[in-house]
Amino acid sequence: MVKFLWGALTALSALSVAVVAQDTYTPGNFSYNRHEFLLNGKPYQIIGGQMDPQRIPPEFWVHRLKMARAMGLNTIFSYLYWNMHEPRSGEWDFQGRNDVAAFFRLAQQEGLKVVLRPGPYICGERDWGGFPAWLSQVPGMAVRQNNGPFLDAAKAYIDRLGKELGKLQITQGGPILMTQLENEYGSFGKDKKYLAAMAAMLRDNFDVCLYTNDGGGKSYLEGGQFHGVLAVIDGDSQSGFAARDKYVTDPTSLGPQLNGEYYITWIDQWGSDYAHQQISGSQTGIAKAVGDLDWTLAGNYSFSIYMFHGGTNFGFENGGIRDDGPLAAVTTSYDYGAPLDESGRPTDVYFKLREMISKYVPAGSIPEVPATPKRATVPEFELKPAAALFDLQDKATRQADDPISMDALGQAYGYVLYEHTVTKDVQGLVAIGDGARDRAIVYVNGVRTGVVDTIYKTPSSVKVALKKGDTLRILVENLGRVDVRQRLKEQVKGIVGNVSVGGSVLRNWATYSMPLSELPSDLHRQHTIKKNDGPVFYTGTFDLPKGASSDPSGDTFLSVPEGVKGVLWVNGVNLGRYWKVGPQQSLYVPGSILKPKNDVVLLELEPQPGVQLSAEGISERKWFNSPDPDAP
């Protein structure tokens, strides 16, 4: 019966959009006075949670929304990712995970309202806070300012969102109640002309209420508040609400209190000393979260849980964090210790919050929790070395005196390989531009010599002795553009500047673009792993587990116990990065992508001779850390 229910949900997610499109909804209105939100003239307390459709397989949208209603939520808050909607200037994508209009129609079908958080800057631990990488190459660009090139690019984005989502506003019978102006702008600046320009763009496309969302501090609230727009806080409700009423003195920005981001826990980042963030299993942690939100509802205030369901940073979609220190690269998993975990299963936090929320809504109004099947297990299977990454490279993308940055190549994510043939003997420390962006592996004549990794405050130094005719290669990985830093030059990836050895600048570089947006076709080779070898693709297969199917009953977590660092694909879908340092030690595999026989491709950046790689699918993941073999 459970399998049938889940199969039905999967089918619904594919069919519901067409069904909803045929439904008619009565136009309504959403407003507020000083103390209450009003839905069609009646008090409406927002019991919300953050859930971003672009981090969730579309086949599972219906289920995730049903789980939100079953916890007692009445409103979904969603960021939209500009970099996924417009990956290249003027090229739009609103299909698959980017079909956000379909997600909002499904939310309405499930009895949920929506609060739209379109950015253009969203933070969200996404690459560059959701900005598309191509912005860094636009002449005269300065983001989040009253800057012509940025406002022109942002207007094209907001106008396109208006075409996609305008009909889904409450005023036209849709679920969208409010739209957020910018995001935590007071943490960045106080340019009111910029906020005015952004507000005008939103009002040209959306006729629902606007609001701002800022931290509960004086500078945050004063910088982010804008005349005529409701001011909302995030973080701690009690101190934040008091701060809002103290520091926001413009009466046109005052209204009911809403905590736009109540943090259940926090994000995960790669690092051998960074443990998984969660409160599940902690009576003290759960009691605090439940108590805080209970206090909020009892005071007739509103909230949105960040995150209710985090989802996954598939592929290379994660961002980084840096405050004048080392890069904190965010993990592939965006589990966030949320009430609904990365695979859509409820945690103990979920049930405790459901129990608390039930005190504030009419009896019987919260649906039963949908049946949840167990996750599948996949027996251990072998991964065989198939092809060396450097053997698959085509001719150089660019040839120049100095290395060409990733962004200048028109590339946003993945890797760039830099190659130099030595013209005279030279030795000493390798100096890479103004610092590796973000992780550089150095090779001499195909032998791995060292790693420069900016997740460390003081990255390792690499010393080489080069002879005339030697080949120096540097493979640079983008670990995620920083979401809170907005200076363009700091967001450019690859090598920026020149490369020197022992103080001597090396000229004449071949630069190879390796975005890995598609897998190489020639992976049917054999490769023998050598000591300190270059990156190698491995391949393997596994059968769909008995009793599982290509829906959530087939969900599993793939683990590569002997892998060091790399990327993993299943049936051509890039599931994301793995890295033995943890805390993430397995990758979420949605059952929706599985087939009776499944092809696995793994790119291992640091293959080890004599080590046989294998993978297995586990039903219950473990979070732990391991020493970094490349630590300084």
In the CATH scheme, what is the homologous superfamily, with its name and number, of domain 33-359? Glycosidases (3.20.20.80)
Q: How far is CA 67 from CA 61, 161, 236, 309, 375, in A?
A: 10, 27, 25, 10, 17
CATH topology of domain 393-514: Jelly Rolls (2.60.120)
Residue of 86, 164, 182, 184 with catalytic role: 184
Residue of 86, 110, 182, 261 with catalytic role: 261
Structure tokens at 454: 């900016």
What is the length of the chain? 632
Structure tokens at 262: 């109540």
Mean pLDDT across 132-140? 97
End-to-end Cα, the chain, rounded Å? 54
Q: Containing H/E element for 476? A: strand 471-477
Q: Containing H/E element for 246? A: helix 237-247
CA atoms within 13 A on the CB side of 374: 10
In the predicted structure, residue 455 carries a pLDDT above the cut 80? yes
pLDDT of the residue at 5: 43
Q: 124 — alpha (psi -120 to 50), left (phi > 0) or beta?
A: left
**What CATH number has the domain spanning 378-387+520-618?**
2.60.120.260
In the predicted structure, residue 6 carries a pLDDT above the cut 50? no
DSSP sequence for 323-341: SSSS-EEBPSB--TT-SB-
Strand ranges (E), 268-383:
302-306, 320-321, 328-329, 378-382
Q: How far is CA 293 from CA 47, 236, 252, 277, in A?
A: 10, 10, 27, 19
Listed range (9-18, 80-89, 93-102, 209-218) with the worst mean pLDDT = 9-18
CB 94 within 8 Å of CB 103: no
Encoded amino acid at 464, one letter: V
Structure tokens at 417: 């390989």
Asked about 616 being catalytic, the answer comes back as: no
Q: Please state, in angstroms and rounded to a whole number, the distance separating the CA atoms of residues 67 and 370.
A: 7
- Which has the closest alpha carbon to 579: 341, 309, 274, 307? 274
In the predicted structure, residue 16 carries a pLDDT above the cut 80? no
In the predicted structure, residue 594 carries a pLDDT above the cut 50? yes
pLDDT of the residue at 10: 46
pLDDT tier for residue 219 given thresholds of 50, 70 and 90:
very high
pLDDT of the residue at 23: 64
Mean pLDDT across 583-605? 97
- CA 595, 335, 181, 256 dihedral sign is positive
Q: Please state, in angstroms and rounded to a whole number, the distance separating the CA atoms of residues 606 and 60.
A: 35
Mean pLDDT across 184-190? 96
Sheet holding 30-32, edge to edge: 30-32, 37-39, 42-43
Q: Please state, in angstroms and rounded to a whole number, the distance separating the CA atoms of residues 570 and 60.
A: 18
DSSP 437: B
Query: Using one digit for the tens of pLDDT, what is the confidence trace for 497-526?
Result: 999 999 999 999 999 999 999 999 889 888
CB 600 within 8 Å of CB 578: no
- Which has the closest alpha carbon to 53: 21, 99, 84? 99
pLDDT of the residue at 3: 36
Query: How many CB atoms neighbour CB 125 within 10 A?
Result: 26
How buried is 349 (Cβ within 10 angstroms: 0-12 exposed, 13-18 middle, 19+ buried)? buried
pLDDT tier for residue 435 given thresholds of 50, 70 and 90:
confident
pLDDT of the residue at 523: 92
Mean of all residue pLDDT scores within the chain: 94
Asked about 355 being catalytic, the answer comes back as: no
In the predicted structure, residue 405 carries a pLDDT above the cut 70? yes
Q: Please state, in angstroms and rounded to a whole number, the distance separating the CA atoms of residues 326 and 521.
A: 36
pLDDT of the residue at 19: 43
- Provide, rounded to the nearest whole percent, the portion of the chain with pLDDT above 70: 96
Q: Please state, in angstroms and rounded to a whole number, the distance separating the CA atoms of residues 433 and 489.
A: 12
Q: Do domains 378-387+520-618 and 393-514 have the same CATH topology?
A: yes
333 forms beta bridges with 312
Pairing of strands 463-466, 471-477: unpaired
Domain regions of the chain by residue span: 33-359, 378-387+520-618, 393-514
Nearby residues of 586 by Cβ (< 8 Å), 6 or more positions away = 557, 558, 559, 578, 618, 621, 622
Q: Please state, in angstroms and rounded to a whole number, the distance separating the CA atoms of residues 392 and 426.
A: 29
